[in-house]
């Protein structure tokens, strides 16, 4: 599913990042005077506050709409929505991947063409019930003191070779890893995917809770290589400097290890505040928000005319497989396979 073309330049435009409170659910007053009526938008976010919180707060400042945000993993938030059903207070669901959105798709309202037309077919499902907000490439992080790209296999199947025993890191409970496995099932079939999982497991990989832990482990030499999303490297470089001894490798032969995942959002059918919800999503697709995603969180924009962060590997150089959004929503099947292979409990 190729990304829409953007202009890659040597300068990324950065927008101000507003400070946020580290709480799982917060209210933002946005300067509305006492006694004035104010719209309140309840957002359930399956993306972490460090990634999405600043731009949500920016939305409140620009729109004057008060927001309440509940944070958790995409799987946790999707499960909460299914448990709450029509009684959920949520107006908006932000998910890290299409699988999370697909899990609650029956609870989402179709989005208007004015929103859907802003992105290409690779960033929205056929029924138009959600839309992509940013693109994230799956990649291999590797320790540059121990390896060069020439030492790495053409695609991630090569990591089943016994020579990688004890040298790898993965986060099988992480939503983006599971999204990669979903893509793997669609590209390779369930049997070959099970073989890959079994082969990696036989190589005794170290298990981590998330992508950032894997990147740090690669940088410290604890592992030689691991499976992550691309932008965690750039966050580590920003914190630790250019000498951080790890880099991304986008598999030469493409395949599921080079898939581009989509973070997206939808409006709950039960929402009584759909107008504010549409304003929210339109803002997330605006040049300001798209520039935030590429400039501050090192992700790929999903709309045209946005200057991509100069640090990012050009998306045109990634041999990403083309996968329909409708093929990326089977989270239940992916989790079932991981459990069958004793990868997760």
| pLDDT given for residue 171 in this prediction | 98
Tokens of 105: 């798709």
The single residue listed with the structure tokens 């929103």 is 115
| pLDDT given for residue 3 in this prediction | 40
What are φ and ψ of residue 138, in 5° steps?
Answer: -75, 145
Point out which residues pair with 248 in neighbouring strands. Answer: 141
| pLDDT given for residue 21 in this prediction | 27
Point out which residues pair with 134 in neighbouring strands. Answer: 263
Task: Report the predicted TM-score, pTM, of the whole model to 2 decimal places.
Answer: 0.84
Architecture of domain 136-259+330-340: 3-Layer(aba) Sandwich (3.40)
Per-domain residue ranges for the chain? 25-135+260-316, 136-259+330-340
Q: Does domain 25-135+260-316 have CATH number 3.40.190.10?
A: yes
Residues sharing a CB contact under 8 Å with residue 238, sequence separation 6 or more, in sequence order? none
Q: 148, 46, 161, 144: which is closest to 95 by C-alpha?
A: 46
β pairing state of 225-229 and 92-95: unpaired
| pLDDT given for residue 5 in this prediction | 35
Give the integer Cα–Cα distance in Å for 325 and 321.
Answer: 12
Whether 25-135+260-316 and 136-259+330-340 share one fold: the answer is yes
DSSP state of 159: G
- Measured CA to CA in angstroms, residue 229 lies from 7, 267, 299 at distances of 22, 26, 10
DSSP state of 108: E
pLDDT by position in tens, the chain (length 345): 444 333 333 223 333 333 332 333 344 444 434 444 567 999 999 999 999 999 999 999 999 999 999 999 998 999 999 999 999 999 999 999 888 999 999 999 999 999 999 998 889 999 999 999 999 999 999 999 999 999 999 999 999 999 999 999 999 999 899 999 999 999 999 999 999 999 999 999 999 999 999 999 999 999 999 999 999 999 999 999 999 999 999 999 999 999 999 999 999 999 999 999 999 999 999 999 999 999 999 999 999 999 999 999 999 999 999 888 888 888 889 999 999 999 999
Q: 109, 118, 66: which is closest to 268 by C-alpha?
A: 109
β pairing state of 131-143 and 206-207: unpaired
Please answer whether residues 132 and 123 qualify as being in contact, where contact means their C-beta atoms are separated by less than 8 angstroms. Answer: yes
User: CA 327, 331, 337: angle at the middle one, nearest 5?
Assistant: 105
* Sign, CA torsion 170/157/73/23: positive
Give the integer Cα–Cα distance in Å for 222 and 82.
Answer: 39
298: helix, strand or coil: coil
Helix axes 274-284, 49-63, angle to 10 degrees: 120
What are φ and ψ of residue 300, in 5° steps?
Answer: -95, 135
- Measured CA to CA in angstroms, residue 87 lies from 41, 106, 280 at distances of 15, 14, 21
Please answer whether residues 19 and 320 qualify as being in contact, where contact means their C-beta atoms are separated by less than 8 angstroms. Answer: no
Tokens of 36: 């004035």
Residues sharing a CB contact under 8 Å with residue 236, sequence separation 6 or more, in sequence order? 212, 215, 216, 219, 244, 246
- Measured CA to CA in angstroms, residue 4 lies from 1, 36, 148, 301 at distances of 9, 42, 30, 8
- Measured CA to CA in angstroms, residue 291 lies from 95, 127, 153, 283, 303 at distances of 19, 27, 34, 11, 10
Give the integer Cα–Cα distance in Å for 67 and 57.
Answer: 8
């Amino acid at each position: 599913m190729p990304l829409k073309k953007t202009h890659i330049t040597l300068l990324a435009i950065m927008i101000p990042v507003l400070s946020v409170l580290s709480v799982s659910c917060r209210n933002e007053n946005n300067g509305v005077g006492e006694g004035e009526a104010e719209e309140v938008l309840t957002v359930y976010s399956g993306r972490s506050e460090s990634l999405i919180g600043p731009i949500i707060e920016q939305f409140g400042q620009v729109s004057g709409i008060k927001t309440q945000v509940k944070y958790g993993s995409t799987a946790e938030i999707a499960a909460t929505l299914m448990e709450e059903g029509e009684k959920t207070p949520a107006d908006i669901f932000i998910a890290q991947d299409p699988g999370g959105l697909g899990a609650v798709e029956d609870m989402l309202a179709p989005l208007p063409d004015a929103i859907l037309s802003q992105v290409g077919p690779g960033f929205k499902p056929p029924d138009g019930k959600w839309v992509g907000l940013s693109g994230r490439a799956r990649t291999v992080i590797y320790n540059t003191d121990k390896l060069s790209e020439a030492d790495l296999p053409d695609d991630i199947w090569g990591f089943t070779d016994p020579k990688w025993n004890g040298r790898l890191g993965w986060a099988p409970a992480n939503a983006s890893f599971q999204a990669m496995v979903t893509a793997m099932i669609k590209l390779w079939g369930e049997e070959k995917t099970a073989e890959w999982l079994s082969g990696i497991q036989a190589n005794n990989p170290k298990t981590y809770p998330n992508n950032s832990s894997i990147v740090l482990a690669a940088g410290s030499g604890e592992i030689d290589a691991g499976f992550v999303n691309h932008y965690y490297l750039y966050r580590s470089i920003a914190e630790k400097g250019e000498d951080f001894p790890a880099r991304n490798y986008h598999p030469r032969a493409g395949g599921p290890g080079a898939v581009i995942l989509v973070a997206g959002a939808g409006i709950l059918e039960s929402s009584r505040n759909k107008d504010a919800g549409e304003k929210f999503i339109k803002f997330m697709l605006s040049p300001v928000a798209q520039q935030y995603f590429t400039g501050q969180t090192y992700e790929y924009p999903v709309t045209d005319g946005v200057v991509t962060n100069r640090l990012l590997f050009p998306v045109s150089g990634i041999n990403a497989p083309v996968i329909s959004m409708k093929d990326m929503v089977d989270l239940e099947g992916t989790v079932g396979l991981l459990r069958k292979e004793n990868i997760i409990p």
